[in-house]
Amino acid sequence: MKHLLSVMLIALLAAVQAQAGGIRDFLLSEPGVVFRTLPQAARAGLVANAELGKSRTTEATNRMGNTSKIDTLTTDYVAVQLSGSSSIALKMLNKGKADTVIAVIETVSTPARDSRITFYDTRWKQLPAKKCIKQLPAMRDFFKPATPKNKLNELLGDIDFQLIELQWTGAGFNTLTATHSLKSFYSKEDYQKWAPYLVDTITYHIEGTTLKPDKKQ
């Protein structure tokens, strides 16, 4: 009973703080839709130690028996390593003081890395992706504009799995970088037929609560 009351208190306190707090408060208030294997009490312990500068030496065991830890924690960005093969990164997108979106990147290794991004409001209600990014990156976007249409369709037809890793990079983690994983998933021989037509990365910048593709890519 005492443990249950402690968990409920943590959840209540986090929910109140998240209304006007930073990313650490949203990490604590997340109800378990994103962090399905890492309960709020474990997250609270990781945050407390990260804020004391102990994030690199502090770990927690999640519900799957894997080791979880916080890799990076700033006022508006947090990266959590859930296990050796999965991670979650939260980034606050702000437009003034009243409008905030939480962008969540979940990444798994297959063994090539593959990600998905979802968006939530401050009450953890999922938002339509198109509200925050006009078009999610797809494998087609990595091919150079000069690639002939027939050749493009042929090359896309040879790709069985569209594996794309998403990361927050750059100063203040304010750039969304999409990187295709073809080189690490397919054989060297297979990759060579795509390589001349590809760009390695696509980047997006933050404008308020939306992500816009950078020009000249």
Q: What is the pLDDT along the chain (217 residues), one digit of tens a residue?
A: 544 444 444 444 444 344 446 999 999 999 999 999 999 999 999 998 888 876 556 788 889 888 999 999 999 999 999 998 999 999 999 976 668 999 999 999 988 899 999 999 999 999 999 999 988 999 999 999 999 999 999 999 999 888 999 999 999 999 999 999 998 888 899 999 999 999 999 999 999 999 999 976 5
Calpha distance 47→29 (Å, rounded): 12
Query: In this structure, is residue 3 part of a structural domain?
Result: no
Query: In this structure, is residue 5 part of a structural domain?
Result: no
DSSP state, residue 133 = B
**Number of folded domains that form the chain:** 1
Query: In this structure, is residue 150 part of a structural domain?
Result: yes
Query: Domain range holding 191?
Result: 18-213
Query: In this structure, is residue 143 part of a structural domain?
Result: yes
Calpha distance 60→80 (Å, rounded): 11
